Amino acid sequence: MRVPLSWLREYVDLPATETGRDVQAKLVDVGLEVETVETVGAGLTGPLVVGKVLTIEELTEFKKPIRFCTVDVGQTNGTGEPQEIVCGARNFAVGDKVVVALPGAVLPGDFRIAERKTYGKMSRGMICSGDELGMGDDGTGGIIVLPPEHEIGIDATKLLELHDEVLDIAVTPDRGYCLSMRGVARETATAYGLPLRDPALLDVPAPNDYGYPVKIDEPIGCDRFTARTVTGLDPEARSPIWLRRRLQKAGMRPISLAVDVTNYVMLELGQPLHAYDRSRIEGTIGVRRAEPGEKFTTLDGTKRVLDAEDLVITDDRGPIGLAGVMGGAHTEIADVETHPETGEVQGTTDVIIEAAHFDQLSIARTARRHKLSSEASKRFERGVDPEAASAAAQRTVDLLVLLAGGSAEAGVTEVITPSAPRTVRIPADHPDKVAGVAYGRETVVRRLQEVGCDVYGQDDLTVTVPSWRPDLTDPNDLAEEVIRLEGYENLPSTLPKPPAGRGLTDRQRLHRRVGRALAAAGYVEALNYPFIGEPVFDQLGLDADDARRNTVKLVNPLSDEEPALRTTLLPGLLGALRRNDGRGSHDLALFETGLVFRPTGEETKAVRLPVDRRPTDEEIASLNAALPRQPLRAAVVLAGAREQSGWWGKGYPATWADAIEAARSLAAEAGVELTVRADQHAPWHPGRCAALYVTVDGQETLVGHAGELHPRVVKALHLPERTCAMEIETDLLEQASTGALRAPRISTFPVATQDVALIVDGDVPAADVERALRDGAGELLESLRLFDVFTGEQLGEGKKSLAYALRFRATDRTLTVDEASAARDAAIALAGERTGAVLRGA
Amino acid sequence: MSAPNKSYDPVQVDALKPDEIERVRDEALAAFAAAQDLDALAHAKVAHTGGTSPLALANREIGALPPQAKAEAGKRVGMARGVVNKALAARQSELEAERDARVLVEEAVDVTLPYDRVPAGARHPLTTIMERVADVFVAMGYEVAEGPEVEAEWFNFDALNFVPDHPARQMQDTFFVQGTSPDGKATTGDESGVVLRTHTSPVQARALLDREPPVYIVCPGRVYRTDELDATHTPVFHQIELLAVDEGLTMADLKGTLDHMVQALFGPDMKTRLRPNYFPFTEPSAEMDMVCYVCRGASVGDPDRPCRTCGSEGWIELGGCGMVNPRVLTACGVDPEKYSGFAFGFGIERMLMFRHNVEDMRDMVEGDVRFTRPFGMEI
């Protein structure tokens, strides 16, 4: 809502010194979001006067037609002589009153007017258009031609109200009444503690039986319909300057007198109005629901198919308006036309004015259904004061009579479905309890009265809310009115005392540790959008029946290329890797933690539960059953060098082993033992892919994969060569976690070290050999470390040598060499039995 | 003086003469002083303090002296040996110090060499700033609560008093999830009753259904709106939400909690301002601002000192807040006659932007390591 300060002053006697900024601050305090204060006519200074065009000489020797004019500007030019002005516009004639900027004037945009020679003539000023004066569109697009009654030589900056300030207010959905000058004026008056001149307080004739016939079939959708008729309008009458200026400043374009007046009254009182050309209406005006599939053309020229829920205004032939949203094309006020032969002026002379009240929800649904938001629908959706309808109709009648020479017919139609005033009961100290401030009953009552409520009662108040505040329905709504008018800025600051907390949950702490562990290992976190497209699954080489292809899909994705939600973190993370690589960072280690979305296919439809009670546990379960599984995962991707080469020596490239190590480190954070096994799983390289397992509730459970990506995937996704990746479900790691670690017992007896090199077949997993050595060595084994892997001719075809350092120690004695050797031999023996390992050199 | 001794040995007696002792002592001292390195000193040590050195030999003779002479000679030799040993030790440490100094100089390195062997990793600043905010409340006793990102409309809207035709429920803001009809075909429209959560507020409803009051929770998380990515918008962003439900909570408690938060995050003299506003799930509702932590309001009306952080407004808009609408409590099974509550929420991206001068939303979204790395492990 754009509110010109000059207009606002009509209803509230603000001190003359108050600026737009001052009013903004006051209104913000009472809860109106005044987003900007615009200075109209900033940088504009006179002399700017009304002149009368005396002569026009057409200059034709130039590329475009130019006029050399003389204009009577009275004594304002100091001489009283006609002012000579060169002008490029053509929409004026000799005798027209125009706005003249004299030399010395400055127009918006620092446009300085001076005497100058142009097109071979001296030009001493400018004949102005609305645009040049910063007035905005006046619908003509050319020179301003003033009505003839304005005197020559008067100051045009005042006449055109060129200087003003406009408050732009973002009206929240609960404050529909502030989509009117009346509502904003009421808030202003309260904020300043000044009286309000309510523009809706008009003398309105009582309804009678000889007004235009109206029949309401749908009293729930339309509980009030006022119809008034004005006849004998001069179709040539134009809106006066003051009216057009106010519309412009409020952001509306002047169109024609009848339309301008209805718009003006809507801005003033908040009541949307519609003016019908009476000659185009047949029979009774009706209000009903549309027939399903009924067709109707709105005045924007769009043909619409109506829904059975749409509320329509009809005459005997059918719909003439989409109630509360937009009128129809064929009953619109006619444009003024001059008959080409007779010269007779044709246009609307008789109008029927509709001021009705429609159901908020019904209008909201219709506007949404037809994607048609209008000034009217915007107001009805938020709630319009039903009691202001007859005043608004009267105001419209008055203005049409005054400005277009019409006469009001005596017939007054009012169809009203009576409703009881709405009351809310609250304890008098309820606002005090909500705010934590002792306002006292007197203040509470006074503030509620300022809002427009009638208040009765002592300790328990019965509050009748005003007709323009449909949002006031609950005790807390009334509390808010009191607290905001007393000032949110005056609320004290106190701290509640929550019960002692338990800190983060295990899952939350693990989530943090995962991030810290990966960052500490050199990974940089990327937070990627979860939107993906199906083609990425082909690029990843997933089988047709791969579970990851089963996605949650969006009805309205931002991009049709990416209509689904991720089932794996890899596409997003690999995208970030590619983006970084493309920007010149080639040695990359990235990670992400986040949810993936895995529909089970068993999802049900989420029903709409009631809100007037707690849903049952079954109802909550049914809602949760409508949701896909959303586990928390972590993933890493690597490319380029893992360790840089430098003065310290050679670095090394990121490999499959780094990816698997990332998984091991996360398992360690969770305090879980990770089992790694070779696997073949897209998108990984079939020979360099590990499946990762942990034990959850005694069951070995697959938690993820790691390794080098398949070369085809690398190519398809345009990734750096040998890109590696790991993805793991951290929620499963958390479930596998077995609680508090048992501290190791530290023996201070000396260690006995034994190295062994074992030869095994090349395809024997080192993990199996290690497991056998550990099992065979028994409890004297303190630690075991693989320190070399060797292949060579001397070992024989397809063999490899694994060299381990074994450390033995007892908790109660120094081990003898024999004891350590016996344990080592037992380890070798078991490794030989399980894996075919042979001691090298034996 | 002493009487003559039968076993008197003139040779030995010579060796114990004071002059002789003095001479060998001085010889030793001179030899130590002349030793230029530890090797030379080691030789001198053997020559002058070893088992066959003059002083050692002299010492051996003492036992042969008569008792009276013994003490005197012993004292003389002992003193000489003491002086010699002390001189040796002194020279030893002197030469060692010289050697150390030389060797360590030879071992000197260029300590300004860079060492970017494994480039540092970092967590995303959105992650760490969310943790930081959450920790302020965890320290006060709040719990961190979480919820699904694909959420039932009832939790995202209905339970929060968004009536069915609220504009926020409409297509331009909310991502709707396709449902599946009984025959397995995808449905269109919002028939599934499932959305990508548009705010972290559904976690409020879940938390109230999960626990008995008093409830004090903070919910950081990722949310979705159908905005195209540009310098100031992103369809996927983060919020942090706070909910307190207890007996007798007031708007003053809300204000105090907000004040505490901005003081914990931005400094001890920070404060907040509440402006009336409208949200379906709170009543009364407010927009919350904090004093600009850069200019502290000094830029207001002073064109010479413009503030880029607050646009010379003096205040920075943080987010929305208010007293939990009793209708929300009712829908979540909490008795509004007995309990009241407050809630607030704000966007993490915005906070990161003004706290760290991030100018373009896209920098937070694209995952460029050059943006994220400097933020390190904590923020």
Tens digits of per-residue pLDDT, A357-405? 999 889 988 998 898 889 999 999 889 999 999 999 999 999 999 998 8
Tokens of A351: 């109008």
Query: Is the dihedral angle over the CA atoms A355, A357, A360, A364 positive or is it negative?
Result: negative
Residue B302, CB-side half-sphere exposure with 13 Å CA sphere: 12
Contact A296, A313 (CB under 8 A): no
Give the mean pLDDT of A758-773: 94
Give the mean pLDDT of A404-423: 90
Chosen for mutation from A506, A605, A644 (greatest number of chain B CBs closer than 10 Å) is: A605
pLDDT at B11 > cutoff 50? no
pTM of the model: 0.84
Tokens of B379: 């923020």
pLDDT at B9 > cutoff 70? no
Quick: pLDDT tens for A739-755: 788 898 899 999 999 99
Element (H, E) at A187: helix A181-192
b/e per residue, B210-249, with b = 16+ CB within 10 A? Answer: eeebbbbbbbbbbbbbbbeeeeeebbbbbbbbbbbbbeeb
User: In chain B, which residues have their Cβ closer than 8 Å to the Cβ of A594?
Assistant: 222
Q: Do B193 and A483 touch (CB under 8 A)?
A: no
Task: Write down the H helix ranges in A270-415.
Answer: 360-369, 375-382, 389-404
- Find the CB nearest B152 among A552, A565, A626: A626
pLDDT of amino acid B7: 52
Tell me if chain B has a CB within 8 Å of the CB of A579: yes
Cα–Cα distances in angstroms (integers) from residue A440 to residues A30, A429, A467, B338, in the given order: 20, 7, 26, 22
Tell me if chain B has a CB within 8 Å of the CB of A361: yes
Give the mean pLDDT of A671-697: 95
pLDDT of amino acid B213: 94
Residue A713 CA to its chain's centroid (Å): 37
Q: Do A556 and B176 touch (CB under 8 A)?
A: yes
The values of phi and psi at residue A389, to 5°, are -65, -50
In terms of C-beta density within 10 A (0-12 exposed, 13-18 middle, 19 or more buried), how is residue B7 classed? exposed
Which residue in chain B has the smallest CA separation from A499?
A: B141
Q: How confident is the model at residue B104 (pLDDT cuts 50, 70, 90)?
A: confident
Between B259 and A159, residue with greater pLDDT:
B259
Q: Do B367 and A590 touch (CB under 8 A)?
A: yes
What percent of chain B has a predicted confidence (pLDDT) above 70? 91
Angle at B374 between CA B373 and CA B377, to 5 degrees: 75
Of B277, B286, B282, nearest to B325 (Cα)? B282
Express the helix, strand and coil content of chain B in percent, nearest 5 each. Answer: 45, 20, 40
Shortest Cα distance, chain A CAs vs residue B63, angstroms? 49
- Find the CB nearest A499 among B127, B141, B248: B141
Give SS3 for A739. Answer: coil
- Find the CB nearest B252 among A494, A554, A642: A494
pLDDT at B70 > cutoff 50? yes
Quick: pLDDT tens for B209-238: 999 999 999 999 999 999 999 888 899 999
**Which stretches does DSSP call E strand in A511-630?**
524-525, 531-532, 564-565, 588-595
Give chain A's largest Cα–Cα span: 131
CA distance B215 to B143: 9
CA distance A73 to A82: 7
Give the mean pLDDT of A698-705: 96
In one letter, which amino acid is A633? R
Q: List all residues 6 or more positions away from A395 whose beta carbon is below 8 Å from its beta carbon.
A: A199, A202, A265, A268, A269
Tell me if chain B has a CB within 8 Å of the CB of A489: yes
Q: Do B176 and A555 touch (CB under 8 A)?
A: yes
In terms of phi and psi (left: phi > 0; alpha: psi -120 to 50; beta: otherwise), the region of A117 is beta
pLDDT at A158 > cutoff 90? no
Of A634, A631, A682, nearest to A659 (Cα)? A634
Q: List all residues 6 or more positions away from A604 whose beta carbon is below 8 Å from its beta carbon.
A: A622, A625, A626
CA distance A630 to A111: 62
Which residue in chain A has the smallest CA separation from B301?
A: A21
Give the mean pLDDT of A193-207: 93
In terms of C-beta density within 10 A (0-12 exposed, 13-18 middle, 19 or more buried), how is residue A402 classed? exposed
Q: Characterize the bridge pairing of strands B150-152 and B194-196.
A: antiparallel
CA distance A372 to A380: 13
Of A434, A611, A507, nearest to B205 (Cα)? A611
Of A236, A230, A237, A259, nearest to A247 (Cα)? A259
In one letter, which amino acid is A271? Q
pLDDT at B10 > cutoff 50? no
Quick: pLDDT tens for A292-314: 989 999 888 889 999 999 999 99
Shortest Cα distance, chain B CAs vs residue A381, angstroms? 10
Between A43 and A612, residue with greater pLDDT:
A612
Shortest Cα distance, chain B CAs vs residue A312, angstroms? 20
pLDDT of amino acid B1: 44
CA distance A626 to A609: 13
User: In chain A, which residues have their Cβ closer than 8 Å to the Cβ of B369?
Assistant: 524, 580, 585, 588, 590
Residue A138, CB-side half-sphere exposure with 13 Å CA sphere: 25
Q: Characterize the bridge pairing of strands A588-595 and A524-525.
A: parallel
Shortest Cα distance, chain A CAs vs residue B344, angstroms? 15
CB interface of A with B, residues 306-325, below 8 Å: none
CA dihedral A648→A649→A650→A656, nearest 10 degrees, is: -50
CA distance A484 to A472: 14
Q: Do A493 and B256 touch (CB under 8 A)?
A: yes
Of B199, B355, B361, B195, nearest to A527 (Cα)? B361
Quick: pLDDT tens for A430-480: 999 999 999 999 999 999 999 999 999 999 999 999 999 999 999 999 999
pLDDT of amino acid B48: 86
Quick: pLDDT tens for B360-377: 999 999 999 999 999 999
Between B130 and A152, residue with greater pLDDT:
B130
Contact A357, A223 (CB under 8 A): yes
> In terms of residues, how long is chain A?
842
Residue A640 CA to its chain's centroid (Å): 40
Tokens of A801: 């040598």
Give the mean pLDDT of A157-171: 89
Between B166 and A679, residue with greater pLDDT:
A679
CA distance A20 to A34: 10
Q: Do A480 and B285 touch (CB under 8 A)?
A: yes
